[in-house]
Amino acid sequence: MPAPNLINIRQQLERVVGPAPWYWKTFPIFRSGAGQRFVWTYHGEQGPVGYVVTLALEQEPNKPRLALNTYCRPFVVSPEYVGIWCPEGRNIRLAGFAPDQLKTFDLAEIAGWFKQSSDRIYSATPPIADFEVPLALTAGMHKIDVPGELATVDELIVPTSYRAMSNDDPAFALFVVYLQAGLVEVLPQKWFTGAQYQVGKQWISRAARDQESHRIFGECFGAGTFLLDEDGRSLAEWLERR
């Protein structure tokens, strides 16, 4: 494998999707199968829809078709769908929606609703695909049943908290979901332990794979940006410390 180009990786990191609402500007703007352009809107920190991010047609930003609560991340599903993944209980939920089929709704319908609910996604139209990956999976590769509508996606790298039995055990993991292959690889982050970091205040917010070196890089909120070793579990170096 070629050596990582750190300048290139830093540029890639700026475009990696992070969780709603803090990283909403990284969310993909896309055209649907019917050629309609969809955009995201963040509704600020105050009021009944505080911290909510909505999806709407570019020409109809005030007519939302999808609403995301905290920690959701969207991804494009070729050729015409949008996917959302988010933590839900002791699982990672992955859902797919057909943007052209989504019905509009009034923001008043969800005013205060997300704040009272553990739900992460709101839509007036059911998803076309919906499944969960359990967080209790052990390290290594596992088979999963992926709905065909989402199976065009090669890889998603999902950072998530991970049950640590002691302060020296990994408190975070990367779940690398290979949707085309129907597999998920669990990579506990050996370097992220309760003994070394303030778990909760510091957490891995986003991660991706460098297409040249195939190494995983990412951002640890409250600590900095990083590059992992080839095993995907050990810290190789900090790109930037905070």
In tens digits, what is the pLDDT along the chain, a chain of 242 residues? 778 898 899 999 999 999 999 999 999 988 888 899 999 999 999 888 889 999 999 999 999 999 999 999 999 998 889 999 999 999 999 999 999 999 999 988 888 777 777 789 999 999 999 999 999 999 999 999 999 999 999 999 999 999 988 999 999 999 999 999 999 999 999 999 999 989 989 999 999 999 999 999 999 999 999 999 999 999 999 999 98
pTM here? 0.94
According to the 3-state scheme, what is the secondary structure of the chain?
CCCCCHHHHHHHHCCCCCCCCCCHHHCCCEECCCCCEEEEEECCCCCCCCCCEEEEECCCCCCCCEEECCCCEEEEECCCEEEEEEEECCEEEEEEECHHHCCCCCHHHHCCHHHHCCCCEECCCCCCEEEEEECCCCCEEEECCCCHHHCCCCCEEEEEECCCCCCCCECEEEEEEECCCCEEEEEECCCCECCCCCECCEEEEEEEECCCCCCEEEEEECCEEEEECCCCCCEEEEEEEC
